[in-house]
């Protein structure tokens, strides 16, 4: 796969697939510009080399139809505010007017296309739509890691026509996950949380042969505890996966791997933020576990102390409710204090880090929940595969 520095971009129209799927308020103001900020290093590197930038992104879920509340103009304006660059906003995705705007770009100028998902062919991965997009540019840069697990036209089809490479953001993601999955320093400790074993079973199966210790938290832990014959009360358990959980436990033991499960729990009678709660070592009937307890937090922190590689995906409890946040906070601090390479993989674990103000305390925070999960499952992402097979 080519790198950004391998592309000849001076004086050329460079199509850049960015992830500017940012939240907007009722007045179409951007309420979080983190994804825009994350793309600026790639865009700066290209502008500094004389590229003429044509930016493409989706925004929300317009379902293949024009939706005035999901136009890209507010995003273009926010990019201008952040950078000071003139950013022109195209009224459409493709067509003669857009082609004229693209051809009129000067070195360093920026044009943002309209919301890709206004055209149903984007999500369908339509080859003709990909070719029409490619015709706007001369070079393609993929920097939207969060969409690389989707075989959409702007992700998988454009590289068929243009010299292509990952942007700095995507290259960082690829390198970080390669370091964790393919070349980890040991001990390698993975922490998996979240609600369901079914969501993480492929990840468990892919990671178990690679890790030295596997720490499990969140509601998914209770399927494993029930598989061990321990009481789980009203906690979320996937009864149809009890046998799978037993198999994972057996495989871990046979391979000499540590598989750590909660030894105490924060329980409540109801799933409510203000519901009375207590710490128990055995979950009573009628109670459900909503967080790991303090002894478990200490045990998990001990497993992380000497780790040289740490991968964390998923919270330890219902962290969005303050009463059930302490376990996730304890694990987040233990990860932050670890001296090894620390990679936090997308979704709720990133949200937890940000909530606790610890997102700058780790080595890599992934920008794509679904994409990072598929990498952890051992899948090849369509967006990355397309770059590997790109036109020269």
Identify the burial level of 342 via C-beta atoms within 10 angstroms of its C-beta, where 0-12 means exposed, 13-18 middle and 19 or more buried.
buried
The alpha-carbon radius of gyration of the chain (Å, integer) is 23
Q: Which two tokens stand for residue 137?
A: 């540019």
Helix, strand, coil percent values for the chain (each to nearest 5):
40, 15, 40
Please report which residue ranges of 54-126 form alpha helices under DSSP H.
Answer: 73-83, 96-103, 120-123
Candidates 99, 333, 370, 379; catalytic one: 370
Based on the residue annotation, tell me whether 229 is a catalytic residue of this protein.
no
For residue 143, give every residue at least 6 positions away whose Cβ sits within 8 Å of its Cβ, in sequence order, or none.
16, 17, 18, 19, 39, 42, 166, 167, 168, 169, 170
**What per-residue string of b and e applies to 281-318 under the rule 16 or more CB within 10 Å gives b?**
eebeeebbbbbbbeebbebbbebbeebebbbbbbbbbb
Based on the residue annotation, tell me whether 230 is a catalytic residue of this protein.
no
Give the Cα separation of 70 and 388 in Å (integer). Answer: 32
Q: Which two tokens stand for residue 71?
A: 């136009």
Q: What are the phi and psi torsion angles at 266 (to 5°)?
A: -95, 115
Q: Which two tokens stand for residue 226?
A: 């029930």
Candidates 347, 368, 369, 383; catalytic one: 347
Pick from 13, 371, 17, 370: nearest CA to 159? 17
Measured over all CA atoms, what is the biggest interatomic distance in the chain, rounded to whole angstroms?
A: 70
Give the Cα separation of 168 and 90 in Å (integer). Answer: 25
Contact 227, 242 (CB under 8 A): yes
Based on the residue annotation, tell me whether 308 is a catalytic residue of this protein.
no
Coil vs helix vs strand at 285: coil
Candidates 13, 17, 35, 226; catalytic one: 35
Give, as one character, the DSSP assignment of residue 286. Answer: T
Candidates 2, 88, 99, 196; catalytic one: 196
Q: What are the phi and psi torsion angles at 313 (to 5°)?
A: -140, 105
Give the Cα separation of 345 and 130 in Å (integer). Answer: 29
Q: Nearest 5 degrees, angle CA 28-CA 30-CA 36?
A: 135
Based on the residue annotation, tell me whether 370 is a catalytic residue of this protein.
yes
Task: For the beta carbon of residue 234, count every other beta carbon within 10 angstroms.
Answer: 18
Contact 248, 204 (CB under 8 A): yes
Active site (catalytic) residues: 35, 196, 347, 370
């Amino acid at each position: 796969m080519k790198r950004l520095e391998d592309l000849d971009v001076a004086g050329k129209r460079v199509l850049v697939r960015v992830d500017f799927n940012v939240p907007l308020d009722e007045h179409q103001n951007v309420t979080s510009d983190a994804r825009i900020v994350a793309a600026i290093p790639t865009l700066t590197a290209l502008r500094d080399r004389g590229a003429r930038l044509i930016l493409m992104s989706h925004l929300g879920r317009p379902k293949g139809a024009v939706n005035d509340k999901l136009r890209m103009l507010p995003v273009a304006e926010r990019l201008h505010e952040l950078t000071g660059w003139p950013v022109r906003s195209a009224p459409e995705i493709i067509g003669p007017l857009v082609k004229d705007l693209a051809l009129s770009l000067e070195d360093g100028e920026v044009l943002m296309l309209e919301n890709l998902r206004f055209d149903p062919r984007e999500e369908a991965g339509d080859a003709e739509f990909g070719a029409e997009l490619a015709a706007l540019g001369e070079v393609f840069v993929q920097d939207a890691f969060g969409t690389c697990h989707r075989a959409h036209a702007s992700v998988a089809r454009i590289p068929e026509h243009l010299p292509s490479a990952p942007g700095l953001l995507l290259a960082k993601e690829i390198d970080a996950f390669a370091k964790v999955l393919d070349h980890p320093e040991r001990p390698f400790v993975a922490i998996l949380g979240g609600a369901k074993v079914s969501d993480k079973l492929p990840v468990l199966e892919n990671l178990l042969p690679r890790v030295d210790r596997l720490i499990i938290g969140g509601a998914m832990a209770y399927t494993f505890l029930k598989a061990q014959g321990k009481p789980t009360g009203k906690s979320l358990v996937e009864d149809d996966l009890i046998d799978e959980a037993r198999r994972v436990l057996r495989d871990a033991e046979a391979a000499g791997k540590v598989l750590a499960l909660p030894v105490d729990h924060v329980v409540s009678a109801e799933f409510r933020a203000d519901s009375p709660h207590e710490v128990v070592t055995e979950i009573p009937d009628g109670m459900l576990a909503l967080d790991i307890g303090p002894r478990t937090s200490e045990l998990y922190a001990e497993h992380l102390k000497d780790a040289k590689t740490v991968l964390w995906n998923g919270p330890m409890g219902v962290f969005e409710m303050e009463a059930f946040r302490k376990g996730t906070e304890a694990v987040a601090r233990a990860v932050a204090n670890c001296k090894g390479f620390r990679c936090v993989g997308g979704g709720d674990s990133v949200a937890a880090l940000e909530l606790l103000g610890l997102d700058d305390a780790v080595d890599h925070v992934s920008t794509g929940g679904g994409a990072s999960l598929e990498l952890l499952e051992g899948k090849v992402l369509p967006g990355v595969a397309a770059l590997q097979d790109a036109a020269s």
